[in-house]
Structure 1
Amino acid sequence: MKKDTVIIGFMLFALFFGAGNLIYPPTIGIEAGTSFWAAIAGFVLTGVGLPVLAVAAVSFVKNDARELADRVHPLFGLIFTSLVYLAIGPFFGIPRAATVAYEMSIEPFSGQTSLLLFIFTTVFFVLVYTVSMNPSKIVDRIGQFLTPILFLAIVILCLGGFVLLESPTVSPIDKYASAPLFTGFVEGYLTMDAIAALAFGIIVVNAFKDRGIIEGRELVKATLKAGIVAGIGLTAVYTSIGWMGSRMASEGKFSNGGAILSRSAEMMFGSFGALLLGVIVALACFTTSVGLVVACGQFFHKLTGLSYNLIIAFVTAASYLIANQGLNTIIQVSVPVLTFIYPIAIVLIILTFLNRFFGGARTVYLGAILLTALVALYDGLAAFGVEMPAITSVITYLPFFSIGLGWLVPAIAGGVVGYFFKRKATISYSN
């Protein structure tokens, strides 16, 4: 495998490995208990498999993810892609990364104060903006320098977990006792990586183009190989820190995955463990934030024609303001939005790879996305606490609804109906 592929793969690993990747696997581990392996397998499907496919999907088009969404309808492409970039950027993704970095690298040593959060996020976003100003250097700065440091720190922490954490696993909580694989699958939504991949994909594609790989098939292959490099690293890390969480159930109750990791690091290495975890978190969240700012800057620059530097200034400023609202507020608002966006993104990614089998017919995209969006909208509103008893009494009959995949059969049905209309229109035209 070429050196450039490995370097770009490392960059992609660092871009993906951010706040959600740290705080969710340990929670799965502690909650899934003896069902850990099935649960983490489901998590990896959405937390690793889908992002790798999404990055490869972007390499099929000439520009960015909007070109994929335009296959449904140009207006849908504009609205959905903008929503994706805003969600993974200034609204949720970047502020979450900054607040997780604060809570896991500063707060353990100093306690929680709004003044410290303000100071930390000020320094954090000044650095993010500075690095993001020159996107052509992002591969060298992240892929060659920051990622090896990040990966080394993670390896030390994970090896310590396998050797030093000896507490037995316990029985899973209810949702992991009945369907651990599918519960883990839905939990993978919260990483935001599949939709982030729609943004990161163009960074990877441009990195390969800068290295002279511009032919379609070769570009797809190179992008997929870089995705596999990142995917192997992510799978290893998710499994390791999730397994660490499964060994912490006997240590009491924890508020979130960050608290689980902090306690396990302290148990293994004392104060050095807290420092090591702080380095991991700060680097992981910083590299992800840089990647998201660059992706948002490039997308909205192309969309609006405004200066790239002006846009990233706006993105970092908005992220800075939202980050200072605190992690709990960000998570509370983001979950319903991600519940709506994620199924649509999954279906769009899958259709991209099946495109040649139905000739790219817009009716297939329309049918599949429309029915997916209707169910996803219900799920999102329900997650917001909106009660819809009349709709609920009907929609609960959908297959797989109880495990969070109620959109699956409607998506397939919509695609099949769309294909039928495509064939019918073709036959009518030929006659």
Structure 2
Amino acid sequence: MNKLVARQRLVMTFTFFSMFFGAGNLIFPPFVGAQAGSATIPAAIGFIVSAVGLPILGVLAVTFAGGFDKLASRVSPKFALFPGVAIMLTIGPCFAIPRTATTSFEMMVAPFVPSSYGWLAQLIYSLVFFTLAFLFAQHPEKLSKVLGRFMGPLLLVLIAVLFIACLIHGIGTPANPMGDYSTNQIARGFLDGYQTMDLL
């Protein structure tokens, strides 16, 4: 097995980060903080376990097994097909793919479009979004370089700017936990972390 030099490890780290960082990672952490209020720390612990810890363990398990098919075929070769197809459908057309277009539309376009034309704007946006995604997906070797060298560092910078802005302009006293986070904050955080679908 070839050892990676420091620069290659850094690019791979940024590539993994930008691959895992999706719509759910953008939506759920602020939601957890807003709902959990003064109980944000236990909620964040639960969230981090399922949104960060378990996906890392999943990557390690698949890597050490030599691939997902080899890992799942330890149960049986026929079994390996079922979870593979189910996971691909879940992180593909059933949930994650529509969520990527919807989240970016809601954040970038929806505030500037009259509500009466919202459906048309979303349709046009989705067509353009998925056309560009399809074109980029035709060259996966270039995509991994772009993710690792440019998108990963850019995401980290934008997250840092957002975090600092929230610290400077945030509320002084955290509110009491509300909604689903009124009780059992660790468990609720764990469930919302799972909803990022990074483990899948």
- Normalising by the residue count of structure 1, what TM-score does the alignment of the two structures yield? 0.43
Give distance in 2, aligned partners of 1:175 and 1:146.
33
Task: Name stretches of at least 5 consecutive residues in structure 2 with no aligned partner.
Answer: none
Deviation digits for residues 146-170 of structure 1 (CA, Å, limit 9, x no counterpart)? 2222222221111111111134211
Return the offset for 1:121. Answer: 1.0
CA shift for structure 1 position 185:
1.0
Q: What amino acid maps onto 1:9 in structure 2?
A: T
Structure with more relative contact order (C-alpha pairs < 8 Å, separation 6 or more):
2
Aligned counterparts, 1:349-428, within 5 A: none
| Alpha-carbon distance, 1:174 to partner | 6.3
Do the aligned partners of residues 150 and 111 (structure 1) sit closer, same or farther apart at CA in structure 2, a change above 3 Å counting?
A: farther
Cα offsets for 1:116-147 (capped at 9, x unmatched): 11111111111111111111222211110222
Does the alignment pair 1:72 with 2:75? Answer: yes
Residue of structure 1 equivalent to 2:134? 129
* Corresponding residue number in structure 2 for 1:147: 152
Are 2:110 and 1:93 equivalent residues in the alignment?
A: no
Matched residue pairs, number? 194
Correspondence list, 1:83-122, <5 A: 83-112=86-115, 113-122=118-127
Amino acid at match of 1:96: R
**1:34 and 2:38 correspond:** yes
- CA distance in structure 1 between the partners assigned to 2:120 and 2:32 by the alignment: 32
What is the one-letter code of the residue matched to 2:112?
Answer: F
In the alignment, the residues of structure 1 paired with residue 179 and residue 168 of structure 2 have an alpha-carbon distance, to the nearest angstrom, of 29
Cα distance 1:92–1:30, how it changes in 2: closer, same or farther (>3 A)?
same
Identify the match of residue 14 of structure 1 among 7, 11, 18: 18
Q: Secondary structure at the match of 2:74?
A: coil
Aligned counterpart, 2:192: 187
Who is 2:85 aligned against? 82
- Is the 1:46–1:189 contact (alpha carbons within 8 Å) kept by the matching residues of 2? yes
Measured in 2, the distance between the counterparts of 1:175 and 1:166 equals: 21
1:25 aligns with 2:29: yes
The 1-side partners of 2:159 and 2:104 are apart by 15
Q: TM-score, normalised by structure 2?
A: 0.91
Counterpart of 2:57 in structure 1: which amino acid? Answer: L
Mapped to 1, the partners of 2:36 and 2:77 lie a distance apart of 42
Distance (Å, rounded) in 1 between the aligned partners of 2:102 and 2:7? 34
SS at match of 2:64: coil
Query: What does 1:218-233 correspond to in 2, within 5 Å?
Result: none
Work out whether residues 7 and 139 of structure 1, in 8 Å CA contact, stay in contact via their aligned partners in 2. no
2-structure distance, mates of 1:174, 1:114: 29
For 1:16 and 1:111, locate their aligned partners in 2 and report how far apart those are by CA, in whole Å: 33
In 2, the alpha carbon distance for the partners of 1:177 and 1:76 equals 40
Corresponding residue number in structure 2 for 1:203: none
Q: Is 1:170 aligned with 2:186?
A: no
How far 1:177 moved relative to its partner? 4.2
State the alpha-carbon separation in 1 of the partners of residues 155 and 180 from structure 2.
33
Residues 137 and 41 (structure 1 numbering): CA distance in 2 closer, same or farther, change over 3 Å?
A: same
Deviations 1:308-332 (Å, cap 9, x if unpaired)?
A: xxxxxxxxxxxxxxxxxxxxxxxxx
Shift of 1:31: 1.4
Distance 2:19 2:178 in 1: 32
Structure with max Cα Rg: 1
Paired with 2:108 and 2:183, the residues of 1 have a C-alpha distance of: 36
